[in-house]
Amino acid sequence: FFLLVSRQGKCRLSKWYTPHTDKEKQKNIREVSTMCLSRPQKLCNFLEWREYKIVYKRYASLFFITCVDKTDNELITLEVIHQFVEVLDRYFGNVCELDLIFNFHKAYYILDELLIAGEQQETSKKNVLKLVTDQDTACEEGTDRDMQ
């Protein structure tokens, strides 16, 4: 899974790549976010959790948290998180938590362009931004036609 959690522990985005019940999701979010939020900043960004690894990174007031298999490379996962943050930053122009709250659908769309089924699909930030802006243009054109 991929989570964005505020410093207050509120989940701002959650993307699940394996099936879970809503109750399990809430329990996992609470458990993992508590672990990450309570860790001192000087400790590493990798945690063992159940039969998985948690890889997380804090940017400003948000924690970007991923759950990966124990065999996955932590540094590549950190790079995927960083790439997601950079794309969000370029798209929103210095992204903040409010951008993600009010435009969560765009954050999901960007994440879906980067990852499919939890695996990296696109490595080019330029291509992702082009696809997202093309989607915005198509939506605006559709809205303009509906108003006429």
Residues contacting 94, CB < 8 A, separation 6+: none
d(C-alpha 32, C-alpha 3), whole Å: 10
Alpha helices in 13-73 (DSSP H): 22-38
Residues contacting 128, CB < 8 A, separation 6+: 87, 110, 113, 114, 122
**Backbone φ and ψ of 133, nearest 5°:** -70, -35
How large is the C-alpha radius of gyration of the chain?
16
pLDDT in tens, 15-65: 999 999 999 999 999 999 999 999 998 899 999 999 999 999 999 889 999
Residue type, 108: Y
pTM for the model stands at 0.88
Q: How many Cβ atoms are within 10 Å of 39's Cβ, its own excluded?
A: 15
Structure tokens at 99: 């951008």
pLDDT at 136: 85
pLDDT at 144: 61
